[in-house]
A = this chain, B = another copy of it.
Amino acid sequence: MPLLSAERERKLGLRERKKIQTRQAIRHAAYRLFAEQGYDATPIDQIAEMAEVSPSTVFRYFPAKEDIVLTDEYDPVIEEVLRDRPADEHPVESIRQALVASLHDLARSEGDDIALRTKLLRDVPAIRGRMAEAQEESSRIVRSVLAERTGKPDDDLELRVIASSILNALHETIMYWVDTGQNDDLEQLMHTTLDILIRGLTLSALSDTALKPHQQ
């Protein structure tokens, strides 16, 4: 009879539930304190105290202070969506769809903390550094999918430039969105951005000036 195992699956066992609970408690406390006093001004001990756990436990759940903020990984989502796109679709279009899709996921799963999180992402050097790493990882994934589809080696310069350009442009778009008070429709901004890339960085105000590839 699978009743017990089904129950365990739903309830995940008391241990697992407590772990999730603790994790949330720590993050919650941290967010509150970060918002009140700022990131640097908030020592781990204080977070631990408010979350009612020991400092060691905080470090056990989050190897570094930044990890409390840098929570979720988009990468697996991106890769999955990306591989699910039809193989004959143009790669840049696939990436567009995959990233927009994972963005939707994110926007829904994040609660009210999203504003605070994006601000920390922008303002705290340590967090930004980690963000850059994450972006590089995403870039590597996108590149490997591109490599599969084109048959090029995945350390090809062209692929690297294309993949990193797209990720960078979308990152810049998010920062623009944050800087302007998150009033715009992020998805629409992203489409605009990708169109700029695809068109070849042609400045709309300067489209009269010819742009030719470099001649040696």
A175 to B151, CA, bound (A): 22
- Asked if residues A157 and B192 are in contact (CB atoms below 8 Å), the reply is yes
Total number of A residues with any Cβ neighbor in B under 8 Å: 56
Q: Write the chain B residue with the least CB distance to A170.
A: B161
- Are A169 and B161 interface neighbours, CB within 8 A? yes
CA distance in complex: A130, B19 (Å): 34
Query: Is the contact region of chain A dominated by helix, strand, or loop, or is it mixed?
Result: helix
Q: Does A211 contact B (CB under 8 A)?
A: yes
Q: Is A80 an interface position by the 8 A CB rule? A: no
Chain A interface (Cβ within 8 Å of chain B)?
90-93, 96, 125-126, 128-130, 132-133, 146, 150-152, 155, 157-158, 160-162, 164-166, 168-169, 172-173, 175-176, 179-180, 188-189, 191-201, 203-206, 209-211, 213-214, 216
